[in-house]
């Protein structure tokens, strides 16, 4: 299966999570990583399964590398019908009301443009010292398995 891991980051942690996900998936899948700021929104391959990994900054806002992506999607409004994706929102639960909200801005816009979210909405809390080190990899493996099951059943 071809999988594109797309990350939005301010201070680099989501890039590390994206690399961890790619390493976990590589044995079985053709997985590549792209920074959201480098995505041409008019050339998104809707046949790839997309894993979106995105943090939150400010007060529930997008991180720096997700802003141009979100702005270009909002302006160009490509038809993303057929695109299937999953989201791992990264944040810090001590921000309470805005916990992981940055990723939700991306999720909402992708759905508005016709894409379909698959599997469980992942959340990674930077303030949770008890969280497993490989939370992102575990989330990706179970998400891809859920997607596989959907495709097989179709
Ligand atoms: C100035 C600042 C503002 C932040 N605001 C939020 C927020 O509103 N909600 C949230 O869930 N996390 C917030 N965070 C936490 C980051 O999302 C978290 O540290 C994340 O792991 C950073 O990932 P990144 O390096 O990929 O950007 C904030 C962090 C900083 C430093």
Buried b (16+ CB within 10 A) or exposed e, 54-85: bbbbeebebbebbbbbbebbeeeebebeebbb
Query: Residue 29, SS3?
Result: coil
Residue nearest to atom 6 of ligand 1 (CA): 57
The pLDDT, as a whole number, for residue 131 is 94
**Domain covering 2-153, topology:** Rossmann fold (3.40.50)
Give the distance (Å) from ligand 1 centre to CA of residue 91.
Answer: 5
Find the Cα–Cα–Cα–Cα dihedral 35, 65, 88, 15, rounded to 10°: 50
The pLDDT, as a whole number, for residue 154 is 84
The pLDDT, as a whole number, for residue 124 is 97
Give the distance (Å) from ligand 1 centre to CA of residue 151.
Answer: 34
Find the Cα–Cα–Cα–Cα dihedral 9, 13, 19, 22, rounded to 10°: -70
The pLDDT, as a whole number, for residue 118 is 95
Tokens of 140: 């990706």
Give the distance (Å) from ligand 1 centre to CA of residue 55.
Answer: 6
| CA 117 to chain CA centroid, nearest Å | 10
The pLDDT, as a whole number, for residue 23 is 97
pTM to 2 decimal places: 0.97
Q: Tell me the best of 10, 18, 129 to mutate to test the pocket of ligand 1, counting ligand atoms within 8 Å of each CB and taking the most.
A: 10
Cα–Cα dist 76/85, whole Å: 19
CB contact at 8 A, 59 and 32: no
pLDDT in tens, 85-105: 999 999 999 999 999 999 999
Q: Which residues pair with 26 in a beta bridge?
A: none
CB distance 100 to ligand 1 below 6 Å: yes
The pLDDT, as a whole number, for residue 114 is 98
CB contact at 8 A, 70 and 107: no
Mark the ranges of the chain whose per-residue pLDDT is less than 70. Answer: none
CB distance 103 to ligand 1 below 6 Å: no
């Amino acid at each position: 299966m071809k999988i594109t891991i797309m990350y939005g980051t301010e201070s680099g942690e989501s890039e590390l999570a994206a690399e961890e996900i790619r390493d976990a998936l590589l044995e079985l899948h053709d997985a590549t990583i792209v920074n959201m700021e480098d995505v041409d929104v008019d050339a998104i391959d809707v046949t790839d399964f997309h894993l979106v990994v995105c943090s939150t900054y400010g007060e529930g806002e997008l991180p720096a590398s997700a802003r141009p992506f979100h702005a270009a999607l909002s302006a160009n409004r490509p038809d993303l019908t057929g695109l299937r994706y999953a989201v791992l929102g990264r944040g810090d639960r001590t921000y309470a009301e805005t916990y992981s909200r940055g990723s939700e801005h991306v999720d909402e816009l992708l759905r508005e443009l016709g894409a379909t979210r698959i599997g469980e909405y992942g959340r990674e809390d930077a303030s949770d010292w008890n969280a497993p080190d490989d939370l992102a990899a575990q989330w990706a493996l179970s998400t891809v398995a859920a997607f596989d099951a959907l495709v097989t059943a179709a």
